Structure 1
């Protein structure tokens, strides 16, 4: 009976410790996820710009430029997430850049900056929502440090 009580107590203590550490532990995975998704998006823009132009309504040169930028940004985010300890000032810069991307995406839709198709409009807004989610997750994890 004592073993069961001790085991249960230890399990509860471990679960509580894990739960209280969780937001802090999300910072590195949030940065990694951001880097992977951003890098995949950038690679797609570079590799498939002529195909995506018709689908999204964004000129191929713009897509290639965005693709190159996103690949560089993704590499930077991956480097920030790989550092030990994670440099908090660099995370703040990543969050700021993500917020700017969200604002730019919404502004591109709102101002008819490009001749976006319906799919292009939906993609820009979906992308803005995903990047806003990354920023919120990163900011939440940053505030718990």
Structure 2
């Protein structure tokens, strides 16, 4: 089974939604989740949810839906790996997806749902939001 993926959608102001997305049960007390939540203070403005999927394909579709939902509403989003490390993000002022690690993730799910993650992707490590959210 694929490892969990954590998706943060920025709703308005400091309101944020952390979605644990996986094909099996997610422990919200897991160190990766704790690491992500530590950067999303104040905690009372965070909506923690777990989204379970029956297979890898439905997980990818769920992520694609969440990203499309955030972008259609002109909201920022961030995607974290199973260890709670930021993989990529995009905020309303960003022209493209930002990869803080300097390169697109190699996972198949990333290529399936994020625009510009193929070989010809232009990678940007600079963003107006690079130091923060």
- Under a length normalisation based on structure 2, what TM-score does the superposition of the two structures give? 0.31
Q: Which has the higher contact order (CA 8 A, sep 6+)?
A: 1
Bigger strand share: 2
Specify which structure has the higher proportion of helix.
1
Larger Rg: 1
TM-score scaled by length of structure 1: 0.29
